[in-house]
Structure 1
């Protein structure tokens, strides 16, 4: 099969790789649509994300959808031909995290595109059968792939304890921020403020769940004005402003990848008894994401800027930060 392989920072080549074979409880998915994520771009530009370092050739990509073309010996053959969205995790299923429902924290996790595990910018991918979710015929392939970033948004608002009537601030209106806003509205938030310095991204957020958008370079929310804060920017200034906007007892969820360290107003956190939550992937979000994607707040197709083949991935990586880009979709068949 053909696959786009990262050899080092800004060194991406298309090569022939062996087509993987499914294990007994796996399915082989022919990939049709794979979203380009900010973490993919971070690996492309820097060769690492936090402690995850690319020290050998790696296939990136984890926002994936396609068609099952083969199954393992323990999987019903009737699944061949199903269109599926991929949850790109392979937990061990035996450790205490897995057994208590926090499988995203499995210390033996194999996650697509997290070194040294190859990802989905390839023609085929082997997936645990129960992590390949059938999608309705009305859902496009691109939308099925974008259930992954929508799942991040769902996991974030769950952690932020968003409920009917909540007021929520989301910093950063890239795909994760926009879909977090959509998820917050779907979970009943009555006020969803999206903050981003780029007008084009604020405009996207305004039609995907945000009830108000602001330019953080010109405006800040009043202190103690929201119940929950989700940072999808990774910008230290945005994190500080978001914490100050939280009411006493509120929850902040840190999703964005930016500076590895930030200054923290510890007295603010202590005196308001704020809860700070990290977010690392998701647990059991795809059924909710599929249901939400069929409703108006999460018009996933509208987020697609364009589609490229494997040979166009390098250029898409370089353009991903442009103001007019929301989400590139890669079709590995091209």
Structure 2
């Protein structure tokens, strides 16, 4: 891949019988989008031809397939960007995110949401209340990753958690942990601006490293790595109490050495997170009731003509989340578009 990016005109897609057609209002830029653009692959997923990026999306239903009720036209929706095979063993047991036949927005060779119109299965277009912004509706997707991570961590009221990495997922994990009633939320992040953001978004304490945090001296109930950095993973594991849980969600090294004896002796449960399943109702409720703030994560808005700047926004230290509005050519710096 040469990292080239073009904007082109395409036919408006036609929804299948069980799908809806959505006019896209907002698309959050994810690290996976920039990774595909710059490096052409993530693990086994390799870009071999032109692909539309983007999977954090919201919009309004403008047409429906023949098996979908017409009353859905006009709904504002948050898109769950997955199309699993409903007959797979994974889907039948409820783990549809692990379906081996999954078609996922913006993952080669499936086109994503950086388009004016997209189709999605009707049950994966989740209605959102009118007071929830287009941007927040789009960011239900990364929020769902955080919800899946905190669920895997198995912690709740009055317990403690260590989170390494204060990018969008780490910050959302802190917010979800706070909403779940955790009273000690330690976020480790080397960047000073992101440490400050972590305190705004739910952390009770922040530190440059695990060793510099209270977690280095007092064991936590669970550890979530949202950095993907092997040193952070190793230090985080050492901070977990006996019988605690370790959740790996950050994308980083494909392989790393782990302290096997420590994991065995403490009987730690170590697991990963791959996307999400059955999270959107919780995400919508958390945002609609004000328990999680997604709007303040947005640090820049971009029109489709400015999409390159949106995809490169992660190179700006103060950036947290860039949002692209595919139906708009350019966005004024102070503007906040709505559908």
**TM-score normalised per structure 1:** 0.95
Give yes or no for the alignment of 1:105 onto 2:98.
yes
1:122 to 79, 104, 115: 115
Tell me the alpha carbon deviations over residues 224-249 of structure 1, each in whole angstroms, 9 at most, x when there is no partner.
Answer: 61011111000111101110110111
Mean Cα displacement is larger for which, 201-210 or 276-285?
201-210
Count of aligned positions: 327
Q: Deviations over 1:262-321 (max 9, x none)?
A: 121111111111111111011110110011112444211101011101221212222313
| 2:187 counterpart of 1:194 | yes
Quick check: 2:15–2:65 contact (8 Å CA) kept in 1?
yes
Q: Secondary structure at the match of 1:210?
A: coil
Higher strand fraction (1 or 2): 1
Point out the more displaced range, 36-45 or 22-31.
36-45
Q: What is the DSSP-based 3-state SS (H/G/I as helix, E as strand, rest coil) of the residue aligned with 1:58?
A: coil
Aligned to 2:36: 43
Question: Structure 2 vs 1, CA of residues 290 and 161 (structure 1 numbering), >3 Å: closer, same or farther?
Answer: same
Structure 2's unaligned 5+ residue stretches are 329-339
The answer as to 2:143 corresponding to 1:150 is yes
Q: Tell me which residue corresponds to 1:5.
A: none
Residue 249 of structure 2 aligns with which residue? 255
Match of 1:266 in 2: 260
Query: Which of these residues, 48, 56, 74, is aligned with residue 49 of structure 2?
Result: 56
Q: Secondary structure at the match of 2:6?
A: strand
The one of 296, 307, 323 equivalent to 1:302 is 296
- Equivalences for residues 135-214 of structure 1 within 5 A: 135-214=128-207
What corresponds to 1:235 in structure 2? 229
Q: Distance in 2 between matches of 1:169 and 1:295?
A: 25
CA distance in 2 between counterparts of 1:296 and 1:209 reads 13
| Structural RMSD (CA) | 1.2
Q: CA deviation at 1:54?
A: 0.4
Contact 2:313 2:322 in 1 (8 A): no
Deviations 1:53-72 (A, max 9, x none): 00011111000000000000
Distance 1:80 1:24 in 2: 14
TM-score (normalised: structure 2): 0.94
Worse overlay, 206-215 or 106-115:
206-215
